[in-house]
Structure formats: C-alpha cells, structure tokens
Structure 1
Amino acid sequence: MAYLSLKEINKSYGSKVVFHHQDFSFSKNEIVFFVGKNGVGKTTLMEIIVGLNQIDEGEIILDKRELKVPYDLSSREKFSFLPTEDQLIDFLTARENLSYFAEIYRIKKYQDKIGDLIKDYQFSDQEGKLIKGYSKGMKRRLSLALIDLINSPIIVLDEPSLGLDIY
C-alpha cells in the first residue's frame, strides 16, 4: 500500500502543461529516482510532493490523509527537502548552521548529534570557518548533513550530488 500518493494531478504554467492526470505512488522505505531531460517536471514534482508548489487539480494523500497546500505542521514534519540551491546561512559556521536549523525543526537534544555529524561529514577541521568561505561541494555536503540531522520519514533530494566533492 502506498504511503504517499499523488492522484490525477494536473499542473500547468500558463499554456505549458507539466502534468496531465498523472498518478504517482510511493511506499515506505522505497528509494525512487526521477530521471529525465531538463524541463520535464522533475523539480516541479519534488516541490509538489513537499508542499512548495501547488497542483492545479488532483489529490495528494499521505498515510491515508489528504494534504492541502500549505501543509499543516504535522504533515510538514514528515518531509525533508534538499533543493538544488543550498539554504545555508553564509555568516554562520557549520555547527552554527546545524544548530540554527535544529532549533527551527525543534529537534531535541541535538548538540551530541551535531558533534557526530561534524565528525562524520568531515567538518572538524573547518570548525571556525564561515560558510561563505566554503566551496560549493562543501556546502552541499553540509546540506546533506542537515538532512541527516532532520531525519524525516520522507527525504526528497533534488540533484543531491550537484557540486559534491569526493572526500
């Protein structure tokens, strides 16, 4: 049974039809990749899934409950989204960024987990450095650490390896 379903969705931008009566369904613990040419709607679909873009028609059902944009708090907590552009704050360090977002997401007792993420994602040698001095790949890696910190049941990554350095 599907955990998340998009039924009969329609989405257009002016005269450009992106989705016309399309169905998508996703099970728990399923890993899904969207592959296609530029401009076919992959990012639009991801934004619809996480509630950042509204469908023109159709239904979005999460765990047998219909969602409407804007999603309520209990529904929003089910999603983590990594867009192609990082959402980090340039004038904070890696630890400060993770702490900032932990507060926004109301993560309890996050300090130890942040310490582990700093180590696991190899930011220990960058402790005092502001994000504005990071490479694009380092910012991407920190954004992935942030997704790891949030730990939502549904994780949506838009081009997660974009600019990512091998370490």
Structure 2
Amino acid sequence: MSRRTLLGLALLVAAIVTGWSAWNMRERAAPAAGAGQRSDYVLRDFELVTLDKAGVESARLKAPELQRSRQDESLSIVRPLFLLPGEDGGWRMSADTGWVAADGNLIRLEGNVAGDSAEGHPVPTSFRTSTLELLPEQDLARTAAAVTMTQPGIMQTGVGFQANLQTRQYKLLSKVKVRYDPPTRR
C-alpha cells in the first residue's frame, strides 16, 4: 500500500469516529436552562445590617457566603450568625445554613442551631436545636424539633419550642423534661 492509501484510510476512520461521536452527543438531552439555578449575586465574608420601618437596627448578619436566588429572590447563607438587638442586649443565633425569604419576614436556620442571650444578661439563656424559624417582625422563634434550653441552675429539654425574643417568654410544647441543679451554698 502506498502512503496516500494509508493516509486516506486514516482520514476515513477519523471521519467515521468523529461522525459517530457527534451523533451520540446529539442524542443526549440538553442540560436544563440554568436561569433558576444561578444566583443574582454572591457575597463573601460580609456583615449586613438591616433596619426596621422606623430606621432602627433590627438585625445584623455575618457569614462567609450569601447567595441570592434569581428565581424567588430568597437568600441562602452558609454558617450565618445573626445578632438580634433587644432589651438586655438581644440574641446571638448561629447555624450551619440559613435561608431568608425575599420579603425578610421568615428566616430558617438548619443544622447545629444555637441561640444565646447576649453577654451580661441578668439570666443567661441558651438553646440548641436542629432547625429553627425566626419571624423577625413578631420577635418570634419556633421549631417542631427537639430542643435543649439552659439557664443557670436549670436545663430543660422538649420537642417543639416557641420563644418571644423580646419578652423572653419560652414555651416547650411536648415531652418536656426539667433538671434542676441549684448552686451550692458557700
């Protein structure tokens, strides 16, 4: 065989393989349009302050990443830390992930949710749960998950929890257990 014949056969094989490959690629479904999957914007290592209708600080948010959804304008947050002002210093709320509705009236925290009263509060209070919903305009926190709440000398556990974050009124909804450890006298 001559060089021209070998070169012609090689080009024919290459053309067949290329055509077959293109044909197989055509049969695959095209990926779904990513318009709803993409973010409008992403913030990294940020601190955000929100104001209420009167122009007073209602919350402060610190996190390593925030993404705003194009589709529903909600916010997805990685390791959020919410600082909620209030009487006697307010609250510090953290979690593995967070989600904020477009209108800001609902915040969902998930994974290792921790709520702690501000330092210096006369009755330090903390609670731990797996999920928590915050309703900022109502100063309400709630969950249907198991909760552990601690204050000096007392630990309460239960399933389901509601708290008014301004008045510090707490309600465990079911399966409540209380352990009281009074401080020792000196």
Q: Which has the larger radius of gyration?
A: 2
Give the TM-score normalised by the residue count of structure 2.
0.22
Instruction: Using structure 1 for the length normalisation, give the TM-score.
Output: 0.23
Larger helix percent: 1
Question: More strand per residue: 1 or 2?
Answer: 2
